[in-house]
């Protein structure tokens, strides 16, 4: 996308293999989110296929107080645009309401499905994800350059601290 036409929507990948995209991703960085603590560490997202063809989203992190947290959601793939999904984190009984879903667009992904740039078409949300907790600095710069070319403002970019650990079921159970 040309930076001189920011009113045009960003482009998502057209050939996303959902099966290869499933699994565990570490958050390398993001634009600030109202629903995620800016001081969150060890942020992960795990995607798995549900029997009904939707995707289970399991986001976990350690919050600013040091407590493990989890947000469970559901993503519905867009049949016409494989790189686009609609995600909801509302309780299951409310997920049928159409306007409660948010856009989740895979903007860039490497051929080995090791790194992905994900954003929303309004350019308010952006994530850089990796299969490992940390990625090469040059590679990160390349992905952020791609985000800028798609019109994302990265002035408030947050690099997510990753210790190499992750929030486990046991940690979540201890908090309850």
- Determine contact, residues 41/161, Cβ cutoff 8 Å: yes
**Can you give the CATH number for the domain in which 143 is found?**
2.40.128.20
CA–CA dist 79, 132 (Å, integer): 29
Cβ neighbours for 21, distance < 8 A, ≥ 6 positions apart = 47, 106, 109, 113, 116
Q: Which pLDDT score is estimated for 175?
A: 78
Mean pLDDT by 10 residues, the chain (176 residues): 60 96 98 76 96 95 92 92 87 51 91 98 96 96 98 96 92 85
Q: Based on the structure, what is the number of domains in the chain?
A: 1
The DSSP code for 21 is H
Classify residue 7: in a domain, yes or no. Answer: no
Q: Which pLDDT score is estimated for 39?
A: 85
Q: Which pLDDT score is estimated for 102?
A: 81
Classify residue 149: in a domain, yes or no. Answer: yes
What is 10-67 written as a DSSP string?
A: P---S---HHHH-EEEEEEEE--BTTB-TT-EEEEEEEEE-TTS-EEEEEEEE-TTS-
Classify residue 2: in a domain, yes or no. Answer: no
Cβ neighbours for 37, distance < 8 A, ≥ 6 positions apart = 61, 63, 64
Domain span at 134: 18-175
């Amino acid at each position: 996308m040309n930076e001189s036409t920011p009113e045009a929507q960003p482009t998502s990948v057209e050939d996303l293999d959902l099966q290869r995209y499933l699994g565990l991703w570490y958050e390398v960085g993001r634009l600030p989110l109202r629903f995620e603590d800016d001081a969150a560490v060890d942020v992960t997202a795990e995607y798995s296929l549900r029997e009904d063809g939707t995707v289970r989203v399991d986001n976990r992190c350690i919050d600013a107080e040091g407590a493990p947290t989890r947000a469970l959601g559901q993503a519905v793939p867009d049949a016409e645009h494989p790189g686009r999904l609609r995600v909801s984190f509302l309780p299951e009984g409310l997920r049928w309401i159409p306007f409660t879903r948010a856009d989740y667009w895979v903007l860039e992904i490497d051929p080995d499905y090791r790194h992905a740039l994900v954003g929303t078409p309004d350019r308010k949300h952006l994530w850089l994800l990796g299969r490992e907790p940390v990625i090469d600095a040059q590679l990160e710069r390349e992905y952020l350059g791609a985000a800028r070319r798609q019109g994302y403002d990265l002035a408030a970019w947050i690099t997510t601290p990753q210790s190499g650990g992750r929030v486990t079921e046991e940690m979540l159970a201890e908090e309850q």
